Structure 1
Amino acid sequence: MAGQEKEDGFVAAVGEASAALRELFAETPLQENVYLSKKTGARVFLKREDLTPVRSYKLRGAFNFFRKAIAGGLRAKHFVCASAGNHAQGFAYVCRHFNRHGVVFMPVTTPQQKIDKTRIFGGEFVEIRLVGDFFDDCYRAAQKFAVEGSGVMVPPFDHPDIIEGQATVAHEIAAQMRREAGLRVEDSLVILPVGGGGLASGVTRYLRDSGQAGEFAFAEPAGAGSLRQALAQDRPVRLAKVDNFVDGAAVAEIGAEPFSLLRAFDASAVHLVPENRLCATMIEMLNIEGIVLEPAGALAIDTLKDFSPEALAGRTVVAVVSGGNFDFERLPDVKERALRFEGLKKYFIFRFPQRPGALRDFLDLLGPDDDITRFEYLKKSARNFGSVLIGIETRRRDNFDILTQRFNAAGWAYQDITDNDTIAGLII
């Protein structure tokens, strides 16, 4: 009975948090996406957390933390956070809402756009301090400042009040499914992006405790699969290396509190999303649906690609779109990665003859759909030859089969370095 009361208490607390959030913004839409539904054979609904005032769900947890701290009589000179992204912006927005002073620690390497947005959201209530080249240095400085300056740290995910705030996403989904679509969330597949685990643990606990849990799938970047590793080893594991491309979800170790709520899931429920495939999804959603997504915001949608048509046919799927804070200066890199994933762009190193007419001979091998996007001499390996980096983009991936056959027949010496991360990372 005590356990049941505890569970009911969580559900009630999330309901209260959701009602209180209406001070800041209305429910984010739950939209049936016709394009994705036709593509997959399922009824696909997108929970548009990219449409909050700060374009991510992080505002929910920060608001709930402040709300409960203030209601509990907590007196602090400062609220403090360390973040270079969505948590900082949500934190700043809430500081202004509650008229509380906040100090945001960001790495020196944080893009100016993110610094400016955080300052706009917080106004005169937020001070920004740039410390260290890496997040760990920044986080340690924030902790030290909070202790020495009578401040309170507002963590991005590893705290019960943060988790409770993120769980309001599930509270809204369940009501919207019934009210707007005449469906039950417990009959659906719910796909959740995972970084530190605050959102995933809050949503799954709320639906479980309220008797509305169906099937869950989790989406992590392939280069930052901390939940997958933790579930496989039944304990939080700090990854030795993290790919930071999906910056909103590139977390080296799942939060302790979120893991305690997620540890009952099997590791096979976690889908590791390849970063280049994710870029193809971002471009697809931008070009076809006009939806701007940051890499972490596209994780749940991309995970649909892991399911066979038979597995999705006739089902209802809810994918949580966690954020849309995309810096368009990154668009060329995203497009590049997408083309490489789709097999429409490759990079080669050719042993190029140093003689008149060699370039013309090479160009004659290209087809009408093939375009050279990069041509760069790397070095002369001998008097008569030089190493040349050549990037080629085409319209159909099987064009490269034809091209390589022509290269081989003409006797060209070359190496395809498209998928060689070590070489490509140094020279492309």
Structure 2
Amino acid sequence: MKRIFLILIPLVVIGGVLFWLVENTHGSVLISTQHYIVQFSLWTALLLVLVAFIVIRLTYSTLRAVLMPGWQLLASRQRRRHDRMRMQNNHGLLALVEGRWDVAKKDLLRTADKLDAPAALISYIAAANAAAQKGDIDDALHTLDMAEQSGVVSGPAIRLTRARLFLDQKRYKEALPLLDRLHSEYHNHPYVLSLLAQAYQADNRWDKLEELLPDLQRNNVLDKKEVFDWQVQIRSSQLRLLQESQEPNTLRLNKLEQLWSRVHKSVKVVPEVLGEYARSLESTGERSAAETVLRRAISKNWGNDLVLLYGHLQGSDPMRQLVVAERWLRDQPDNADLLLTLGRLCKRNKLWGKGRDYLEASLNLNNRPETCAELALVMAKLGEEKQSRQFFKRGLLESLGLEDDLLADAAK
């Protein structure tokens, strides 16, 4: 009973207040159109608004109760369909990792156009990789075309994949323009720089690679050691190309001087680069300069490759070369490469007996085909035809990597 009174008292108070407001508050609401005028009292208008709100609310609740199950069913079906697509897509990616290329491509393409970006883009690119791994490069490129036609936002991804496929197929003429355009758009993109460097290297575009090297280092594509190794390769290759050029010697010598002025001092002392520089000087007719370069390099920092090159160098004064090389023998008495070089220099100076001694000493230290060949030529000059044939045969067997017992028979 007490609870009822607690409820009735506020209701009576509120009702009394409302009755007083209705009796003492006068006002009206006027709605006017072109032909009609409708007038309500203020309280009637408020009552109509309240009734309208209740009707709208009841209508919304009724429609929601009727339509919501259908919407929920549709959403549930869409979720299940999306989950199936996602599972099939994951199955395709797993097949790609496992090397089941046909299954991977089929599942990935079936789901690609039904997924949102970036999952759709990843599916197209993965399907292209599956086709490429299977060996069907045309199908892989066609898949990338499909990705572009689908309108999916890809940035450089599709073009990078296409360029990589071209590089894998050694189709450098197609890869390079694509990578050059990518480089102009994404100047500091590490993977673009890496692929472009590979393309320049494979296509022997050493000057372009030289220009790209600072970008590779600045964007941490290469560390310091890799940069140095690439500098050595670039300079050696540029020098070799200059040697093979058919241009006049004067023009080639001018280019050689310009190129050598750009070589970093730490690269200039590398035996491989020094050797190519000496060969380049020799190819332009500067034999005396080439001999000086090699002689100073060997005296300052011994290198067997440079010593062997010194023996091949067609210097202007072969006797002086022999004297220089014999001075080195005091510090390197058991060096097979130096002894081979001495034998070649003796042969060039027609010192057949002395050359034979050097070559036999070299052969005793290191049984190599070129030493056998040189010794065979010297023996022929000495009139030792039988021994000459034996050394030719021994060198041939050695170059073919045949068994030691055959080599022993050839030496008899």
TM-score between the two structures when normalised by the length of structure 1: 0.21
Larger Rg: 2
More strand by share: 1
Q: Which structure carries more relative contact order (alpha carbon 8 Å, separation 6+)?
A: 1
TM-score between the two structures when normalised by the length of structure 2: 0.21
